[in-house]
């Protein structure tokens, strides 16, 4: 019984971390159709923002929830203005340019911070379920993932901003005719996606070591989740995270963490063979 509970918490945690890791990408790729291969590096910047803020004596929670998203959001605005903006509609070129950006960011951070692992210790300690102990931070991750999903849904469906953003993505010229500047909407959307990636990096900083190359560990997982999710941003994100997170965690439980990751990626590839449009291309059609 205790074991079942622990496994349940672990599975929820795996699903939640996939949601968090992929949310920023879901906004940038799902809405703007921009393949952002620098997604992992945005997360890395978020993690470094947390470390930098902690060194300046900022409270950990403020560093994670405020400093990291804002810092990476600003970087996102700058990069969108300088590079991404010139490549809208040219998917392959965006992919290459963002990969260039990812190398560039890794290079810059390595030059500044060195190639050593910095760490943040996980707050909140741990609590026990029967004979097992579970880190309290795990529950924070789960809670944040739920809050994030609700927030995305709220913003996209209930606010003026979300309506404008969705409308612009569907028909930019029509939105333009109605007096909305698509280029500003793109810019803001990209910044929001970048901020979400920064938040993810900040949140995961206490769990993984912080190194300039840490982004590579997340980019494939995030992409596979978003692509496996299909056209609907939120339903796809949640569906794919649930499926892949559960597979990952259960395989990890039976074998090793490495084989767990392999199981996730293989499952994703098999799924894309069966459902090339992703989960929401076939099921949950037309949802958000």
Residues contributing to the site for another protein (CB under 8 A): 35, 83, 86-87, 91-93, 95-97, 99-108, 110-111, 216, 219-220, 223-224, 227, 256, 258, 261-262, 265-266, 268-270, 272-274, 276
Nearer to another protein, 106 or 148 (CB): 106
CB of residue 152 vs another protein: minimum separation in angstroms? Answer: 22
Q: What is the DSSP string of 214-248?
A: TTHHHHHHHHHHHHHH-S-HHHHHHHHHHHHHHHH
Nearer to another protein, 35 or 188 (CB): 35
Question: What's the rounded Cα separation, in Å, for the pair 66 and 161?
Answer: 21
Nearer to another protein, 181 or 213 (CB): 213
Nearer to another protein, 79 or 144 (CB): 79
Question: What's the rounded Cα separation, in Å, for the pair 43 and 40?
Answer: 5
Using the structure block, give the residue that is written with the tokens 């996606």.
193
CB of residue 204 vs another protein: minimum separation in angstroms? Answer: 18
Nearer to another protein, 22 or 135 (CB): 22
- Tokens read off for 223: 């992409």
CB of residue 171 vs another protein: minimum separation in angstroms? Answer: 22
Q: By C-alpha distance, which of 46, 199, 35, 67 is closest to 109? A: 46
Nearer to another protein, 28 or 268 (CB): 268
**205 in Cβ contact with 120 (< 8 Å):** yes
Q: How far separated are the first and last CA of the chain, in Å rounded?
A: 37
CB of residue 269 vs another protein: minimum separation in angstroms? Answer: 6
CB of residue 135 vs another protein: minimum separation in angstroms? Answer: 24
CB of residue 112 vs another protein: minimum separation in angstroms? Answer: 10
- Tokens read off for 165: 């953003």
- Tokens read off for 5: 């509970």
CB of residue 208 vs another protein: minimum separation in angstroms? Answer: 15
**190 in Cβ contact with 81 (< 8 Å):** no
Using the structure block, give the residue that is written with the tokens 């059609």.
285
Which phi and psi (to 5°) does residue 132 adopt? -105, 150
* 152 contacts: CB under 8 Å, gap ≥ 6: 23, 27, 233, 234
CB of residue 283 vs another protein: minimum separation in angstroms? Answer: 17
Question: What's the rounded Cα separation, in Å, for the pair 205 and 48?
Answer: 8
Nearer to another protein, 137 or 190 (CB): 190
Nearer to another protein, 33 or 158 (CB): 33
The number of beta carbons lying within 10 Å of the beta carbon of residue 158 is: 10
């Amino acid at each position: 019984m205790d074991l079942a509970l622990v496994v349940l918490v672990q599975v929820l945690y795996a699903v939640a971390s996939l949601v968090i890791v992929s949310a920023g990408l879901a906004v940038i790729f799902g809405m703007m159709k921009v393949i952002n291969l620098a997604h992992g590096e945005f997360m890395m910047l978020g993690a470094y923002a947390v470390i930098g803020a902690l060194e300046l004596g900022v409270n950990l929670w403020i560093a994670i929830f405020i400093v990291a998203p804002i810092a990476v959001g600003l970087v996102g605005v700058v990069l969108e203005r300088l590079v991404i903006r010139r490549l809208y509609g040219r998917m392959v070129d965006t992919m290459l340019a963002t990969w260039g950006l990812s190398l560039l960011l890794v290079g810059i951070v390595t030059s500044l911070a060195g190639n050593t692992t910095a760490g943040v210790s996980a707050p909140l300690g741990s609590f026990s379920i029967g004979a097992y102990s579970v880190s309290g931070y795990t529950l924070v991750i789960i809670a944040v993932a739920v809050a994030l999903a609700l927030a995305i849904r709220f913003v996209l469906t209930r606010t003026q901003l979300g309506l404008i953003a969705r409308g612009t993505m569907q028909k930019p010229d029509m939105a333009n005719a109605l007096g909305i500047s698509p280029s500003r909407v793109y810019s803001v959307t990209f910044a929001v996606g970048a901020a979400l990636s920064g938040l993810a990096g900040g949140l995961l900083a206490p769990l993984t070591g912080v190194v300039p190359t840490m982004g590579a560990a997340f980019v494939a997982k995030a992409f596979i989740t978003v692509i496996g999710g299909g056209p609907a941003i939120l339903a796809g994100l949640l569906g794919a995270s649930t499926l892949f997170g559960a597979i990952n965690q259960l395989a990890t439980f039976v074998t090793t963490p490495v084989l767990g990751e392999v199981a996730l990626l293989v499952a994703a590839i098999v799924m894309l063979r069966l459902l090339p449009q992703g989960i929401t291309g076939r099921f949950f059609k037309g949802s958000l």
